[in-house]
Structure 1
């Protein structure tokens, strides 16, 4: 429930913030920037073979080039979301997109590992908070009944961006060199940032005095978030489960092009295209499993989390069969092994959309972006950052096939966390609805003709 319903929504638009057209335009633009975000983030993974040859980098160093983006995203997400919740979502997104696009372009001019690592950190600083702020903006434009599928589609666009990033990186590097790839993919974000100024913002939501005081400063917000994590067991366990599953996703996505090149003997450009196909399977899977989780939760809300737990275990089984079976004496043909990897890639993204919808369900409507940023912090710091780096460390210690055989074990932790979250989900839903009703009662009546605070 949004606290601006009565002021902003035209009659007959069935819960849309400013009409269907404005909602779908906001969704399309936010989704488009999410695609560009992940193109810029993931373009580097298909460049690993070239960078290893030219600069002699270890797998740990290569993994760090992916992980550092997620680290800076995690550290910056909360301050950005706090500002966006109390100011302007649209202007915050425009600023973020401009920063990460310029930082990506700057990567093509680096001439040492240290300068490239610093430029990649700036990419993450620009991207910080985008997923949570974008998700909050979409959620507020649409009625609640559509949010699960829309969140799944929004975060599935990250997979589409990753597909394009991995594929374009390999193809551009083969033709013009690996450094040129950064320049080519950095420009579209600047264009979309300008167009995003046309998106309609939602009103800054009136908070209860207690919540307003708690979120006035970063320190107060951290205390408030800590209290809410302890209060909402669902949010805590969903953050843990979502991060654990993303360890698997990020490890496979980051290292599959190198695995195809080193183990299967494919040229880097061909390996990048094949890996992009697996990422595409993940994009399709996240939409499919998001819709399945929504459907499972119609009569019994906790069922959506129980379904996620089963899907996580299924993804582990398929990926183990793909990566670990050869070490156990089972010899797959290259086609069969790749088909198993693609099937595992489809399954392993099962939690991407539903976890965001669950977090938005159980937090106060006035701090949706901030609540989503907590999830983003867990996902980036303990999921997306951890996966590539841990896999790189294991690869240096053993080898890449063994590392990729070990990483799916994190899905067990994800499954256990989602099972724990299911037990508290329904009580937390009721608590969130009561808090929203309290905020609606406290909100002053504002005539529709008055200027809206923080409107685009």
Structure 2
């Protein structure tokens, strides 16, 4: 994308709500536009915020590495195993929006520190659980702690970087979930093999507490306020955040294209959500791998997802540099590539070819996250980005991550795990259709929203 130009100064509630990056940045300015330099402190904040997201997903996904051990220890069905994973995403889906709105008012830095402390202590509670009910309660508390972190964390990052990096930063930040899943599954599986599954949860909790302490020392609202890039105004405490609920909903669901971005992003994440939860069990059952080895091997596929998210995000920014609508086409392409690869893979016999196709499918399985995040950011006010990304997170969880594990487990109890994994990839095909629908109105929606901003400014 080209230059990041400062928006006009406006005054009043309506102006503040409407004022912000409605127009895709690739459409503003020419090749000679000036890029805003990024301070080193911004990258430090990004690294720490990303580190906490990694801790978030380590705490969330370590459970999947010990599925076979819990199944044997407590005699759980696949549906109950899946519920231990899905309850986290369900709590995230229920609470992400209200907690994100509160974070905008209370302060993002303090909110992040509190959330990370809660999920770390709840993960320690998982280590101490003695039965299914106690584990389910502890996992629910993990979800409460993690509920708003994704939306608040990315909003904090975007507030100190120029807008021309949105697809790349969004993809890189969200890829932290994949890297955290890799570490949680691989490291958790190795620890469980040596010391038992309880120590796996304990190790994740300790890592989270350590990162919270470092984040609290290094990051502060005061230092962040001095790191705003040129043309980006501070968002905490602005009148927009005190807007009525009706006005908030109007801005978050202002047009068809942003609704399609929410829904398409959520549907495409059902596939990686299911794979994260069940690949260790699939490798254990169909490849006869020991639980520890299966977890490490599955982590390799999850790593492919994280690398794919970053590569796809960078590719999206490059491809849509001069033609904003291409974001939608690349999102459609990523979804279809995932659908084709995984649909073929799980209809082949176990072996090298199946492994390769699963890896290819996982590479593209979350590729649309970067384009989706950029489209949501372009179509909503910057002063409401925590709320906008909370809405995106809600869609990601309710339509994708929350039902993924338990739905797959439910189908697996009736058709076998292989049969379930043959059905799940169809979610990405539906996501592709939704993105195509959003593409049809994207340019018109951007122009209409910019016209509203100009009228409000006048």
TM-score (norm: length of structure 2): 0.87
Task: Give, in angstroms, the shift of residue 434 of structure 1.
Answer: 5.2
1:227 aligned to 238, 250, 254, which one? Answer: 250
Structure 1: unaligned runs, 5 residues or longer:
7-12, 443-456
- Cα deviations across residues 187-234 of structure 1 (Å, max 9, x unaligned)? 1211211222222334335756xx55534xxxx2xx445434552212
Q: 1:359 maps to what in 2?
A: 376
Structure 1 pair 93–205 and aligned structure 2 pair: CA distance change class (3 A): closer
Asked if structure 2 preserves the Cα contact closer than 8 Å seen for 1:362 and 1:431, the reply is no
- Cα deviations across residues 82-139 of structure 1 (Å, max 9, x unaligned)? 1222231111101111111010011111111011001000001001111111111111
TM-score (norm: length of structure 1): 0.87
Q: 1:214 maps to what in 2?
A: 243
Corresponding residue SS for 2:367: coil
2:80 aligned to 38, 58, 61, which one? Answer: 61
Structure 1 pair 192–436 and aligned structure 2 pair: CA distance change class (3 A): farther
Q: 2:324 maps to what in 1?
A: 301
Bigger mean CA deviation after superposition, 57-66 or 426-435: 426-435
2:159 aligned to 140, 158, 162, which one? Answer: 140
Work out the CA distance in 2 between the residues paired with 1:29 and 1:296.
29
Matches within 5 A, 1:13-412: 14-15=35-36, 20-197=39-216, 198-199=218-219, 200-202=223-225, 203-204=234-235, 211=240, 214-215=243-244, 220=245, 223-228=246-251, 230-323=253-346, 325-326=347-348, 331=349, 334-412=351-429
Corresponding residue SS for 2:425: helix
Structure 1 pair 249–182 and aligned structure 2 pair: CA distance change class (3 A): same
Asked if structure 1 preserves the Cα contact closer than 8 Å seen for 2:338 and 2:361, the reply is yes
Structure 2: unaligned runs, 5 residues or longer:
11-33, 226-233
Q: 1:447 maps to what in 2?
A: none
Task: Give, in angstroms, the shift of residue 21 of structure 1.
Answer: 1.5
Task: Give, in angstroms, the shift of residue 351 of structure 1.
Answer: 1.2
Asked if structure 1 preserves the Cα contact closer than 8 Å seen for 2:108 and 2:156, the reply is yes
Task: Give, in angstroms, the shift of residue 5 of structure 1.
Answer: 9.8
Task: Give, in angstroms, the shift of residue 289 of structure 1.
Answer: 1.0
Corresponding residue SS for 2:197: coil
Asked if structure 2 preserves the Cα contact closer than 8 Å seen for 1:5 and 1:15, the reply is no
Asked if structure 1 preserves the Cα contact closer than 8 Å seen for 2:105 and 2:237, the reply is no
Corresponding residue SS for 1:204: coil
Work out the CA distance in 1 between the residues paired with 2:7 and 2:130.
51
- Cα deviations across residues 345-391 of structure 1 (Å, max 9, x unaligned)? 11112112221121111101110110110000110122101111110
Structure 1 pair 300–267 and aligned structure 2 pair: CA distance change class (3 A): same
Asked if structure 2 preserves the Cα contact closer than 8 Å seen for 1:46 and 1:268, the reply is yes
Corresponding residue SS for 1:201: helix
Structure 1 pair 159–24 and aligned structure 2 pair: CA distance change class (3 A): same
Asked if structure 2 preserves the Cα contact closer than 8 Å seen for 1:206 and 1:366, the reply is no
Task: Give, in angstroms, the shift of residue 26 of structure 1.
Answer: 1.1
Structure 1 pair 53–428 and aligned structure 2 pair: CA distance change class (3 A): same
Work out the CA distance in 2 between the residues paired with 1:111 and 1:229.
43
Work out the CA distance in 2 between the residues paired with 1:414 and 1:233.
15
Asked if structure 1 preserves the Cα contact closer than 8 Å seen for 2:241 and 2:383, the reply is no
Corresponding residue SS for 2:224: coil
Work out the CA distance in 2 between the residues paired with 1:418 and 1:427.
15
Structure 1 pair 317–25 and aligned structure 2 pair: CA distance change class (3 A): same
Structure 1 pair 104–343 and aligned structure 2 pair: CA distance change class (3 A): same
Q: How many residues align?
A: 420
Task: Give, in angstroms, the shift of residue 169 of structure 1.
Answer: 1.6
Work out the CA distance in 2 between the residues paired with 1:308 and 1:151.
14
Asked if structure 2 preserves the Cα contact closer than 8 Å seen for 1:35 and 1:158, the reply is yes
Q: 1:449 maps to what in 2?
A: none
Q: 1:10 maps to what in 2?
A: none
Aligned CA RMSD, in angstroms, stands at 2.3
Asked if structure 1 preserves the Cα contact closer than 8 Å seen for 2:86 and 2:405, the reply is yes
Structure 1 pair 2–43 and aligned structure 2 pair: CA distance change class (3 A): farther
Structure 1 pair 25–429 and aligned structure 2 pair: CA distance change class (3 A): farther
Bigger mean CA deviation after superposition, 287-296 or 27-36: 287-296
